[in-house]
Amino acid sequence: MNDAGSHSLPETLYSADAVREIDRYVIEGGHVDGFELMQRAAAATFRHLVKVWPEPGSLLVLCGAGNNGGDGYLVAASAVRHGWSVACVAVADPQRLQGDARRAWQKAESDGVPVQRWQDLEPTVADRLFDGAGLIVDAMLGTGVRGAPRGDFADLIARCNALAAPVLAVDLPSGLDATTGQVAGEAVKADLTVTFIGLKTGLFTGQGPAVTGRVVFDDLDVAALVPRSGQKPQAWRRNWQSLAASLPRRPATAHKGRFGHLLVVAGDRGFGGAALLAAEAAARSGAGLVTLATRPEHVAPALTRCPSLMVQGVIHGSELPPLLARATAVVCGPGLGQGSWGQQMLQQVLVSEVPQILDADALNLMATRVPVRAGNHVLTPHPGEAARLLGVSVPEVEADRLAAAVSLQQTFGGTVLLKGAGTVIVGDEGLPTVIDGSNPGLATGGMGDVLSGIIAALLAQTGDPRASAEMAAALHLAAADRASRQRGFMGLLPMDVIDRLPELLGAAEGVVVPAGPNSGMLE
């Protein structure tokens, strides 16, 4: 059982169908009675509720028609036994409940829970229930519901979101697709989500991170039965804490030649900043050597900003092959533009055999070409670029981010990193990876350029495209989170993220890095 933050959550993510099949195996296999399992879920929910809100005042529990509603009825019963003021609203007619959910409703009533049907409430009474709630428990819609909520469920979701009262979601927020993370209409915006049996993929990608709040997990003491159910995970969940140990270590006798020579091809006229952000991020992420190939007018500003770079002004694509010949890896795309200069540069990169990270305008240019599969690249599209590459709309990409990333990988080969909340990474082999977390401060121009530079630097050092993409995405997010603690979200800039990279990399290496520019030198 896990009751801490995301760092202690399981690393396996399951689809809603898989979790339901695991649940069925546990019950129908005679391992645990269904009602006993429901009681365990309710007890876990109430335990976390009390831990976060020990004195919530009036508790409002909203119960739906399925087992999710049954969990809610039993949570309400626990609150009544705890001596709390409880209002329990049946969104679906409890008289029509069946099985364990019906038993839960009957137990709640026998324990003194005042259950009221939503359809029977006068508008003024309903208003008082919501306005007087100190805490709302959302047990309306479970993993079996797909598409936009309708009718009373949609109305109650909107009511929950209009209030200042905190919300605890049982298993998942109502309105969220547990498999894809899509919100087709409106979903409850929870402050805490207590989920069971197996972590659902939709909690961690798409709109999931925007509506789940903090996620805690309870295996309901059936973890040993999950592998025996035959259900396979849908994806892996990773973050910087889980991946930092994979960072390549440097021996005492290290020299720059051992950590790769990275070439950054970027920065058409007017876009020199994007090129420099990618190059500086790469330099801060451990690449032994970094060469920036850019428009000649960007050479002097780039050297002024970051003199550790080697900067080469290039006018024509024919100037690029000698630079590619020396490179261990290449990143192409930030500020590349879609004119003749950018097209020439991309063409030279694509025909080379150098491992490559393709981003931004490189992807936009690729969307106009006949797709050619390659195994030596990492594609890093945001949803808009992914939509152009696939010839679909952005909402279609966001409706199922894992499926979109898999489709891109099958079309173009290599490794695909689909950016966004709950970044998705897919390679030639193995399950997709979802990077756990989101940061609204990353919704700023230049952040993707920084990520490309980090991926390329790690690729130059490790030679492993997928591992580099996973580590880079997790490191990028962790650096943004650390910078946000000082800068907030609205004022966060790409340079702030770059500045935090040495701290995180140093900690992963076991080096104590002083905080701030005036903290003195390392000894």
pLDDT at 512: 58
520 is in an annotated binding site: no
499 marked ligand binding residue: no
Query: Taking residues 356-376, what's their average pLDDT?
Result: 94
pLDDT number for residue 8 = 73
Question: Which pLDDT score is estimated for 48?
Answer: 97
Determine if residue 488 is labeled as part of a ligand binding site.
no
Nearest to 465 by CA among 345, 379, 348: 379
Supply the pLDDT for residue 423.
98
148 annotated as ligand-binding: yes
Mean pLDDT of 95-121: 96
Ligand-binding site membership of 147 (annotated): yes
Q: What percent of the chain has pLDDT over 90?
A: 91
Largest CA distance in the chain: 82
pLDDT at residue number 1: 38
**Residue 449 annotated as lining a ligand binding site:** yes
Q: Is 99 annotated as a binding residue?
A: no
Would you state the pLDDT for residue 249?
Answer: 83
Contacts of 14 (CB under 8 A, 6+ apart): 22, 198, 199, 200, 201, 231, 233, 234
Q: What pLDDT was estimated at residue 513?
A: 53
Please state the rounded mean pLDDT for residues 209-238.
Answer: 97
Is 171 annotated as ligand-binding?
Answer: yes
Residue 374 marked ligand-binding: no
Residue 2 labelled as part of a binding site: no
Q: Region 503-518: what's the mean pLDDT?
A: 73
Q: Where are the domains of the chain?
A: 6-234, 259-506
Q: How do residues 389-431 score in pLDDT, each as one tens digit? A: 999 999 999 999 999 999 999 999 999 999 999 999 999 999 9
The answer to whether the annotation marks 255 as part of a ligand binding site is no
Superfamily of domain 259-506: Ribokinase (3.40.1190.20)
Look at residue 12 in the predicted model and tell me its pLDDT: 97
Does 144 belong to an annotated binding site?
yes
Task: Give 521's pLDDT tier (boundaries 50, 70, 90).
Answer: very low
Q: Is the pLDDT of residue 482 over 70?
A: yes
What mean pLDDT do residues 256-285 have? Answer: 95
* Residue 254 pLDDT: 82
Q: What is the DSSP string of 174-203?
A: TTB-TTT--BSS-----SEEEEESSEEGGG
Q: What is the model's pTM?
A: 0.94
Total number of residues shown for the chain: 523
Q: Which of 32-36, 58-62, 254-258, 483-487 has the lowest mean pLDDT?
A: 254-258
pLDDT, position 3? 41
pLDDT for residue 317? 96
Is 434 assigned to a binding site? no
**Residue 522: its pLDDT value, please?**
32
Residue 145 among known ligand-binding residues? yes
Q: Tell whether 295 is in a known binding site.
A: no
| 405 among annotated binding-site residues | no
- 69 is known to lie in a ligand binding site: yes
Structure-block tokens of residue 205: 């990608």
Q: Any known ligand binding at 48?
A: no
The annotation status of 335 as a binding-site residue, yes or no, is: yes
| pLDDT band per the 50, 70, 90 thresholds, residue 509 | confident
Does residue 126 have a known ligand-binding role?
A: no
423 is in an annotated binding site: yes
More confident residue, 4 or 164: 164
Asked whether the beta carbons of 138 and 192 are under 8 A apart, the reply is no
**CB-side exposure of 150: number of CA atoms within 13 Å?**
3
Whether the per-residue pLDDT at 358 is higher than 60: the answer is: yes
Residue 477's CB: how many other CB atoms inside 10 A? 22
Does pLDDT of 19 surpass 90? Answer: yes
The per-residue pLDDT for range 318-345, each reduced to its tens digit, is: 999 999 999 999 999 999 999 999 999 9
On the CB side of 180, CA atoms within 13 Å amount to 19
pLDDT at 515 exceeding the cut of 60? no
The pLDDT tens digits for 424-433 are 999 999 999 9
In terms of CATH architecture, what is 6-234? Answer: 3-Layer(aba) Sandwich (3.40)
- Does an H or E element contain 89, and which? strand 86-90
At 444-476, the pLDDT tens digits run 999 999 999 999 999 999 999 999 999 999 999
Q: Is pLDDT of 349 > 90?
A: yes
pLDDT-based confidence at residue 5 (cuts at 50, 70, 90) = very low
Q: Which residue has the higher pLDDT, 289 or 248?
A: 289
* Residue-averaged pLDDT of the chain: 94
Residue 197 has pLDDT above 80, yes or no: yes
| Short-list 457, 482, 461, CA closest to 472 | 457
> Are the folds of 6-234 and 259-506 the same?
no
pLDDT 10s digits, 294-320 = 999 999 999 999 999 999 999 999 999
The rounded Cα 344 to chain-centroid distance in angstroms is: 35
142 assigned to a ligand binding site: yes
Beta bridge partners of 62: 89, 138
**Annotated binding residue at 467?**
no
